[in-house]
Amino acid sequence: MLNSKSPIPLYRQLADILLAKIRSGKYPSGSRIPSENSLAVRYGIGRPTARQATDLLVRKRILIRKRGSGTFVCKDQKEVDLFSLAGTLSSFHKKGISVATHILQKITLKSIGDDPENPFANKKAYFFSRLSRVDKIPILVEDIYLHETLFAKIDRIDLSGRSLSQIVDENYYMRPIGGRQNFRIGYVTGKRAKSLQVAPDTPILTVKRFLHFEQAKNVIYSELYCRTDQFVFSQELGAYL
């Protein structure tokens, strides 16, 4: 039961109870939870407090409201390892997820502007951009930069629908040996927002990834824009050590 003398607000206590029941399987994935009126009666609280509790879990994407039907436990989200040295597309395939890619900007050798985070700033690098879709829903945009010398003539290779890591392995006989990446929450506008089908005020997981090879560090640099409302993007710590 709820403790009215606790410093923890009643709605938070109720949210914790509901979450515990979801995790224990009492309310399994896809099931309907009791109505807010029922929760208010069961726990001796007002309906607005019950509403606050369910609102909190809806914001955390643990519950979802369906107009005219009630509130349900969200179905398990598919999880993709965002830092697989085998490549992003390979991460989807390892999970048995069919992903379709579309080239947004064809690969070309270009001069990179002054960007303090881009290791190719004020130099030339190969650049291309691609969009990944799952079940026709856009979930990821990748802007990818490649070392000018180590990937000479890569602009002559058709990258459509292919894993970049596979292309690098088969055509340049190189495999990454490590790397790092930075995470932040950001927003996208213009063509990126249109490609991902999101509003400019929709929070997006933005990742900046640096891949190292035996030949040099920061051989591949990419900026990823991820829709976390569709997938859980994870990182397996120590996977490449």
CA–CA separation, 222 and 204 (whole Å): 16
Is the pLDDT at 128 greater than 70, yes or no?
yes
CA nearest to 101, candidates 56, 131, 67: 131
Neighbours of 193 (CB within 10 A): 18
Mean pLDDT of 209-222: 93
| β partners of residue 205 | 185, 226
List the beta bridge partners of residue 73. 63
Question: Residue 51 burial by CB count (10 A; 0-12/13-18/19+): exposed, middle or buried?
Answer: middle
- The H-or-E segment that residue 98 falls in is none
Asked if the model's pLDDT at residue 46 lies above 80, the reply is: yes
Residue 160: the pLDDT is 84
**Do 210 and 221 touch, CB atoms closer than 8 A?**
yes
pLDDT in tens, 156-204: 998 887 788 888 888 898 888 888 889 899 899 999 999 999 998 888 9
pLDDT the model gives residue 85: 46
**Predicted confidence (pLDDT) at residue 131 exceeds the cutoff of 70:** yes
Give residue 62's pLDDT: 84
Taking the C-alpha atoms of residue 54 and residue 51, their distance in angstroms, rounded to an integer, is: 5
| Best CA proximity match to 146, nearest among 102, 194, 108 | 108
Residue 51, token pair as written in the block? 């509403």
Q: Which residues pair with 147 in a beta bridge?
A: 125
* pLDDT exceeds cutoff 50 at 104: yes
Cβ atoms of 30 and 39 closer than 8 Å:
no
Neighbours of 144 (CB within 10 A): 21
State the pairing for strand pair 137-147/124-134.
Answer: antiparallel
Rounded mean pLDDT, 14-34: 90
Q: Taking the mean position of all CA atoms in its chain, how far away is CA 217?
A: 25
Domains within the chain, CATH numbers bracketed: 10-73 (1.10.10.10), 79-234 (3.40.1410.10)
**Cα–Cα distance for residue pair 32/72, rounded to 1 Å:** 4
How does the average pLDDT of the chain come out, rounded? 85
